[in-house]
Structure 1
């Protein structure tokens, strides 16, 4: 007989350790995007989020200094802001 066994884990944001959830009667799931980037870019995204009103904040959870979980509707806004930031901070050699 074949059985599917699912194990659910939660991340302790303080210690970054995974803890197995034994009571699976109530599991909260949130759809989102996982972002992995370097520390300066993560700080830029966190700052971008902090400048928005509470109703428009998009960061669901900051996992560590280079990883975060954000709402999926914010993907294009984040890409656009990062692109603009890079364009403003790029050196172009004078002709």
Structure 2
């Protein structure tokens, strides 16, 4: 296996990890939009840990109350979009390395 194919494989694995993180954050954003779902599912500690891991520039930004009684976390949604964007870029670079 040459270096280009190994790099493409590594980027593909990183892309999959980024995609899974983006999907997980998107699911958490939807779950937090409903009243009491976080406490019923035991997501409170996870949400706190994610809030601490997010860069302080956007942490806590865009907390919007929803009609369903929950809260829309714009900071989590922005991180999910960033993960999906990085996933796309890794896939594109990996595809170009395979050629």
Hey, which of these two has a bigger chunk of strand by percent? 1
Q: What TM-score results when the alignment is normalised by the length of structure 2?
A: 0.28
Q: What TM-score results when the alignment is normalised by the length of structure 1?
A: 0.28
Hey, which of these two has a bigger chunk of helix by percent? 2
Bigger Rg over Cα: 1
Structure showing greater relative contact order (alpha-carbon pairs closer than 8 Å, 6 or more residues apart):
2
